[in-house]
Amino acid sequence: MKLGMVGLGRMGANMAERLLRGGHEVVGFDPNADARKALEANGAGSADSLQALVKALPLPRVVWLMVPSGKITDDTVDALLSLLAPGDTVIDGGNSNYKDSMRRAKLYADKGLHYVDCGTSGGVWGLKEGYSMMIGGDEQAVEALRPIFETLAPGKNQGWGRVGPVGSGHFTKMVHNGIEYGLMQAYAEGFSILQHKQEFGLDLHQIGEIWRTGSVVRSWLLDLTTDALGKNPTMAGIAPYVVDSGEGRWTVDEAVALNVPAPVITLSLIERLRSRDTESFSDKLLAAMRNEFGGHEIKTEPK
């Protein structure tokens, strides 16, 4: 198939390349000229505007969005809505909030266009190993895109599927990321306990290697964690500063909205907030309280 790829950052460029390798035709658009050139070097066409991209595609057009969630996605979705024609399809492969995807899909449906939300997992490894894709949208619209999904996925019938109507793809990906937060935090805590047990002089990289095969905790994240421990066993030079990127927060919101207790996923998010709260007002106030009732000494800050 021939499709347009909007957004040629790390994820978009890799996906375009995997599609090209799979025999598809790709026309890419990105405001960054270097990104476009890099794509052309891989044998794809490129366009320097959404208008040009749309013109370069055969009817019915297929446009894959791989842009940051939020305003950029909103602007792009709006622009394409006025450029595309009935029967065309937009796939949002980014990390949009599922409610936004449902709202956008309605605008598209009102004009006879298809809107498909595809939660995409796999990170920088997707180019080589394939992307896990959770897809929401009309059955027909999704079915028509089958050749694309089969190429992007780890295997023809593996690692991808239509999970329900529009919104369900990003919803499922959101929960996927919530789980990811929990898994990561569990490993991080465990390795931290091992690291603090100094009397045993444990080699964390070795333990990761042992666990990778045969143990109950083996996983792809453990493989990566073990690799990271191999490269930098003491995490030297790395700040204890953990970013979060939206899906974790949405999962927490959604769990509460659905009355589902999700303490571990929620705490995993809170721990990330905590990692960035280096001058915790809470903790200062706790120290002050202890001083008030018990006369306990307060540790003062270095000037």
Binding to a second copy in span 158-187, by CB under 8 A: 158-161, 163-165, 167-168, 171-172, 175-187
Give whichever of 135 and 144 is closer to a second copy, judged by the CB atom: 135
Q: Is 219 in the site for a second copy (CB under 8 A)?
A: yes
Which one of 132, 141, 144, 148 is in contact with a second copy (CB under 8 A)? Answer: 132
* Torsion sign, CA atoms 260, 263, 265, 270: positive
Set 180, 284, 301, 303: catalytic member: 180
* CB 78, min distance to a second copy, A: 25
Give whichever of 28 and 137 is closer to a second copy, judged by the CB atom: 137
Set 17, 173, 247, 254: catalytic member: 173
Site for a second copy in 111-130 (CB under 8 A): 121-126, 129-130
Which one of 48, 78, 139, 203 is in contact with a second copy (CB under 8 A)? Answer: 203
- Provide Rg for the chain, Cα atoms: 23
Reduced to 3 states (helix: H, G, I; strand: E, B; else coil), residue 297 is: coil
Q: Is 140 in the site for a second copy (CB under 8 A)?
A: no
Distance from CA of residue 280 to its chain's centroid? 29
Pairing verdict, β 132-136 and 160-164: parallel
Q: Is 94 in the site for a second copy (CB under 8 A)?
A: no
Give whichever of 69 and 132 is closer to a second copy, judged by the CB atom: 132
Q: Is 270 in the site for a second copy (CB under 8 A)?
A: yes
Give whichever of 25 and 150 is closer to a second copy, judged by the CB atom: 150
* CB 63, min distance to a second copy, A: 23
Residues contacting a second copy: total by CB under 8 A: 135
Q: Is 139 in the site for a second copy (CB under 8 A)?
A: no
Binding mask 229-268 for a second copy (x = CB under 8 A): x--x--x-xxxxxxx-----x-xxxxxx-xxxxxxxxxxx
* CB 140, min distance to a second copy, A: 18
Distance from CA of residue 174 to its chain's centroid? 8
Reduced to 3 states (helix: H, G, I; strand: E, B; else coil), residue 17 is: helix
| Packing angle, helices 220-231 and 204-212, rounded to 10 | 150
Are 119 and 163 in contact by the 8 Å Cβ rule? The answer is no
**CA distance to 52, 142, 196, 253, 287, per residue, from 136 (Å):** 28, 8, 45, 21, 50
Are 67 and 13 in contact by the 8 Å Cβ rule? The answer is no
Give whichever of 27 and 134 is closer to a second copy, judged by the CB atom: 134
Active site residue 173: yes
Q: Is 103 in the site for a second copy (CB under 8 A)?
A: no
Report d(CA 139, CA 143) in Å as an integer: 6
Are 64 and 91 in contact by the 8 Å Cβ rule? The answer is yes
Pairing verdict, β 132-136 and 114-121: antiparallel
* CB 201, min distance to a second copy, A: 6
Q: Is 289 in the site for a second copy (CB under 8 A)?
A: yes
Report d(CA 167, CA 101) in Å as an integer: 6
Q: Residues with Cβ < 8 Å from 45, sequence gap 6 or more?
A: 25, 26, 27, 28, 56
Q: Is 12 in the site for a second copy (CB under 8 A)?
A: no
Q: Is 55 in the site for a second copy (CB under 8 A)?
A: no
Helix or strand (DSSP H, E) at 27? strand 25-29
Q: Is 209 in the site for a second copy (CB under 8 A)?
A: yes
Tokens of 30: 């990105």
Catalytic (active-site) positions: 173, 180
